[in-house]
């Protein structure tokens, strides 16, 4: 019986020792994990402050009643009342092992009017290390500041406000993506126009003075622009052109002093039997160049663009006949 009691005491003592060792090990491991985590934090470290650091010697009185800091998902959100003198940099602290560090705020906000702004904070230290953090500045009316729900740990934003902010950020992201796509499309269009311009210039240069007549030269130049886009009111095949703009552009390329407003008044009508390449075919709302093969080179419509097609008086209503520009085929 005595042996059993002593063995029971020994067992309890062993349990206490094991528990103590486990606790010491856990505390040591926890401290080590915290130290490791701190060591792995990206340098320079960007910290968002709940309140700005104020110089104790300063006599300036700072009020934070119109500013609230909270979290929306993984981003810090500053709710700022409209008209508040707010400086985001006062709420950002940058720490680095390097002696020098620079904070750059990518984006702007305007506290004079309501709106949600997405700001990318970028910190760069003297060693060239870079870190970034995205924050939200939500400029609201006074009553909207009351949507903050205070908890034991920190203020948070109501579910309704979270949805509103996230929806605004989603729209901003969509608008930014649309803007980026538009800029990329414009850039690609500019590259294509440059390539087309070079191709056409080379084609026109290759024509030289080998045409059998001035009218044939006009047709040859017009054919260099086959495939160009049709744009109503357009004046340049490189950016889009309509039928009248195309005729005037080609004639000017060939040295004829004409404009959209005066070229028709310079034309005189001829019979179909007199027609030659370069003569102009008119309808009440359309115009085209006639070729030696009896086809038309013209800016037809949005589907066909600048093309060569058969000569059909029914191309457009109001066929008026064939005309000639003085000095071309005289």
**pLDDT, tens digit, 9 for 90 and up, residues 219-238:** 999 999 999 999 999 999 98
Other C-beta atoms lying within 10 Å of the C-beta of residue 224: 21
**Domain assignment present for 35:** no
Provide the phi-psi class of 233: left if phi over 0, else alpha when psi is between -120 and 50, else beta: left
pLDDT of residue 222: 95
pLDDT by residue (tens digit) across 1-50? 433 344 455 555 555 455 555 554 455 544 444 444 444 456 788 888 87
Average predicted confidence (pLDDT) for the chain: 79
pLDDT of residue 184: 92
- Please compute the mean of the pLDDT values over residues 90-118 and round it to a whole number: 84
**Domain assignment present for 105:** yes
From CA 330, how far away is CA 7, in angstroms rounded?
A: 130
Cβ contacts of 109 within 8 Å, gap of 6 or more: 88, 115, 117, 119, 137, 139
Cβ contacts of 160 within 8 Å, gap of 6 or more: 147
What CATH number does residue 295 fall under? 3.90.1720.10
* Cα→Cα distances 254→121, 214, 247, 267, 307, Å: 57, 9, 11, 16, 19
- Please compute the mean of the pLDDT values over residues 61-84 and round it to a whole number: 77
Most confidently modeled range among 52-56, 73-77, 264-268, 294-298: 294-298
Other C-beta atoms lying within 10 Å of the C-beta of residue 14: 10
pLDDT of residue 309: 93
Number of domains in the chain: 2
162, 221: one domain: no
**Domain assignment present for 174:** yes
161, 217: one domain: no
pLDDT of residue 161: 66
298, 249: one domain: yes
Contact 253, 218 (CB under 8 A): no
From CA 141, how far away is CA 66, in angstroms rounded?
A: 10
175, 210: one domain: no
pLDDT of residue 108: 86
User: What residues pair up with 298 in beta bridges, in sequence order?
Assistant: 307
Which residue, 163, 179, 195, sits at the end of a domain?
179
**Domain assignment present for 96:** yes
pLDDT by residue (tens digit) across 248-265? 999 999 999 999 888 889
Q: Which domain holds residue 115?
A: 47-179
From CA 32, how far away is CA 29, in angstroms rounded?
A: 5
pLDDT of residue 12: 57
User: What residues pair up with 290 in beta bridges, in sequence order?
Assistant: 296
62 vs 250, more confident: 250
Cβ contacts of 18 within 8 Å, gap of 6 or more: none
**Domain assignment present for 195:** no
154, 264: one domain: no
Which residue, 179, 194, 222, sits at the end of a domain?
179
Name which of 22-36, 72-86, 101-115 the model is least confident about. 22-36
**Domain assignment present for 247:** yes
**Domain assignment present for 36:** no
Query: Is pLDDT of 301 > 50?
Result: yes
**Domain assignment present for 24:** no
Cα dihedral sign for 54, 56, 60, 61?
A: positive
235, 275: one domain: yes
């Amino acid at each position: 019986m005595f042996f059993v009691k002593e063995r029971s005491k020994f067992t309890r003592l062993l349990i206490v020792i094991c528990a103590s060792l486990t606790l010491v090990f856990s505390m040591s491991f926890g401290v080590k994990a915290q130290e490791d985590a701190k060591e792995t934090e990206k340098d320079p470290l960007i910290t968002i402050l709940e309140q700005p650091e104020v110089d104790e010697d300063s006599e300036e009185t700072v009020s934070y009643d119109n500013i609230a800091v909270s979290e929306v998902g993984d981003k810090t959100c500053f709710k700022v009342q409209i008209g508040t003198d707010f400086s985001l940099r006062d709420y950002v602290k940058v720490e680095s092992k390097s002696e020098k560090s620079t904070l750059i705020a990518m984006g702007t906000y305007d506290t004079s009017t309501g709106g949600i702004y997405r700001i990318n904070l970028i910190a760069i230290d003297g060693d060239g290390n870079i870190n970034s953090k995205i924050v939200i500045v939500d400029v609201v009316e006074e009553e909207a500041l009351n949507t903050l729900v205070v908890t034991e740990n920190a203020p948070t934003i109501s579910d309704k406000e979270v949805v509103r902010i996230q929806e605004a950020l989603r729209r901003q992201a969509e608008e930014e993506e649309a803007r980026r796509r538009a800029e990329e499309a414009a850039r690609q269009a500019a590259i294509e126009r440059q390539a087309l311009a070079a191709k056409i210039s080379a084609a026109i240069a290759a024509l030289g003075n080998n045409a059998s007549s001035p009218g044939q030269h006009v047709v040859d130049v017009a054919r260099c622009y086959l495939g160009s886009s049709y744009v109503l009111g357009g004046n340049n095949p490189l950016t889009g052109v309509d039928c009248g703009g195309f005729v005037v552009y080609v004639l000017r390329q060939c040295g004829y002093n004409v404009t959209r407003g005066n070229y028709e008044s310079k034309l005189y009508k001829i019979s179909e039997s007199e027609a030659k390449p370069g003569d102009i075919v008119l309808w009440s709302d359309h115009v085209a160049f006639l070729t030696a093969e009896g086809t038309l080179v013209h800016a037809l419509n949005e589907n066909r663009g600048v093309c060569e097609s058969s000569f059909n008086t029914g191309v457009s209503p109001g066929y008026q006949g064939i005309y000639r520009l003085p000095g071309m085929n005289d």
